[in-house]
Amino acid sequence: MGSIHEQAMNYVYQQVLQRLLSYFNRAERTALQLLIQRLIVAAGGIENIGTYKVLVAFSGGKDSAYTVALMRAAQLSIAGRAPATFNLRVANMRHAGMTSAVMANIHRCYSALFLHDDPRVELLVVDHQYVQAFEPDLPFSSAGREQNRSDMLLGGHLTAGDARTTFCNSCYLGMAEFLGRAACWGDGVDAVLSGDSLKEQKQYATWIMRLARHEGQAVENWHTLGFMTALNTIDSVGRAYYRELYGEETQPAGFMLRPLGYPNKPVAPAFLTVADLIGFRLEEHWALLTDFLGFRFDDLAFSFSESDCANPLLMAHMRGLKAQFVQGRAYADGIAEYLELAAEMMRRKRMPRRLIDQALAAYDHPDKLEERRALAAGYAQEAFGLSEAQLVCLMFAPFVDAGAQLEAFLRVCHPGMLVALADLHRALSGHSAPDQVIQWLVDVSGLSLKGLQNLYEKRRVDFSDDSSIIARVRASDPDKGHVMTVDLHTGEAVSELISGR
């Protein structure tokens, strides 16, 4: 029975391969053969391929979905012509932006490629400090959700809602912990493969290396670093960042990279790339993504490249809120500015015109604008547990600098609380104050009293201050005119201006 079952499954796998190949053009078929050769050489020859294991990080976005499909084609192609093939580990980094819709996209991709029950495949989710098998309805852990929320609130209040600090830095710096946990889980892996474009890899490497050297690390060029050295470099920068964000004694538990051991591996994983083999034009992969992998785009999709942080629906909303409450203009003015930027970035990414029109049409009428505002507010509540009033509070940053902007914030948003201004300052400075005042502070900010008092003692980040690693994280970004933020439903990234205009 076992032999019959194995023969049946091999037939199914070959059918999957044939269907996959039917979506590949000539250039992609050539790239697949080159990838197969690269993997065999990395494994030390075809005789070793059966014990070779490769990790692929899957964000749930279109580019990484294509990379997973290409690796599956390579795995099944080798299996059809050799006694054994390599093992594949696919891992997702769980975060607030990875909602049920993103998980559903991942599940459809896995199902189309018949990954779920293949013993040569491991499907993992890394959620905060936990590694577990992928399940489409797996809830986001309370610890992970609270960490995302805390990082967003503290970063946002220290920078008055700067996009990179509020939404992206924690995810970028958390990649080291994610990759370390995914690679080290179980008996480890032999290689980690990236599907990011060469440009994206270079930008990320340049960003990290500048920060590491400024922190006093004697690091060589990025391309000469081994996998573990690279992760530890990122991790050390992350720990310095969190020290400034939280303080020496209140850094988030579990941030430091662990475990790092490879119980059954004599050496740390190698780093492989396929960026030179594949293209990143969506229209070239449209049929594979939507017809075969079941990828779903809808009116929430600003479909760009890969990243893990916030989403453009919320970023557009915050631009509108800033225009309305902080700048005294109309909510629609802020949205229009954001859409202008989004359209520009879509054209730069050579996105299909239909996706550009689809994204912009979602805001082309006042009634639609109100629907999108409600949708964004619902997402902020679902992902971060924050109300619209709490987002507005964040953009005023009324608690830092000993509450320098507190009165201005009250005058615009909560004039009825002006009579309690002195009590508010007393509560924030650690002195006794009425319980109603303390509760109001907690409700309007979403922060604990301890967190508020911590902010009260801090200065707002000056992005020209070279002594602040929060400032340097943004200033060191090679694409520092923009910041990538990720779509609610697809895991895709959109660029957001960080100049604060």
For residue 442, give the nearest of 386, 372, 401 by alpha carbon: 386
334-371 pLDDT, tens digit each: 999 988 888 887 787 677 787 788 778 889 999 999 99
Distance CA 258, CA 491 (A): 26
Task: Please report the pLDDT score of residue 134 as a whole number.
Answer: 95
Distance CA 473, CA 16 (A): 44
Distance CA 277, CA 93 (A): 25
| pLDDT of 262 strictly over 70 | no
Residue with tokens 């075809």: 46
25-45 pLDDT, tens digit each: 998 999 999 999 999 999 999
β-sheet with 270-273: strand ranges across? 130-133, 121-127, 87-93, 53-57, 191-194, 270-273
The pLDDT of 475-496, averaged and rounded, is: 42
* Range name among 67-71, 159-163, 221-225 with the lowest pLDDT average: 221-225
161-212 pLDDT, tens digit each: 887 788 878 877 888 788 888 998 988 999 999 877 677 777 777 778 888 8
246-261 pLDDT, tens digit each: 876 555 544 444 444 4
Joined together, the tokens standing for residue 153 give: 């609130």
204-215 pLDDT, tens digit each: 777 788 888 888
Amino acid, res. 74: A
Joined together, the tokens standing for residue 470 give: 């929060």
Task: Please report the pLDDT score of residue 24 as a whole number.
Answer: 93
Q: How far is residue 268 CA from its own chain's centroid?
A: 25
The 3-class SS string of 225-281 reads CCHHHHHHHHHHHHHHHHHHHHCCCCCCCCCCCCCCCCCCCCCCCEEEECCCCCCCC
Greater pLDDT, 100 or 197: 100
Q: Are 345 and 304 in contact (CB under 8 A)?
A: yes
Joined together, the tokens standing for residue 263 give: 């119980």
Distance CA 103, CA 98 (A): 7
| pLDDT of 126 strictly over 90 | yes
Instruction: Give the largest Cα separation in the chain, rounded.
Output: 80
pLDDT band (50, 70, 90) for residue 313: confident
Task: Say what the alpha-carbon torsion angle 77, 78, 84, 88 is, to the nearest 10 degrees.
Answer: -80
Which element (helix H / strand E) includes 353? Answer: helix 353-361
| pLDDT of 400 strictly over 90 | yes
For residue 69, give the nearest of 53, 88, 97, 83 by alpha carbon: 88
Q: How far is residue 64 CA from its own chain's centroid?
A: 12
- State how beta strands 482-486 and 53-57 pair: unpaired
The pLDDT of 447-472, averaged and rounded, is: 89
User: ∠273-278-284 over CA atoms, to 5°?
Assistant: 150
Task: Please report the pLDDT score of residue 475 as a whole number.
Answer: 66
131-147 pLDDT, tens digit each: 999 998 888 888 888 88
Spatial neighbors of 77 by CB under 8 A, at least 6 apart, are: 17, 32, 36
Task: Please report the pLDDT score of residue 249 as a whole number.
Answer: 52
Mean pLDDT rounded to a whole number for the chain: 83
Q: Where are the domains of the chain?
A: 297-389+468-497, 398-456
pLDDT band (50, 70, 90) for residue 5: confident
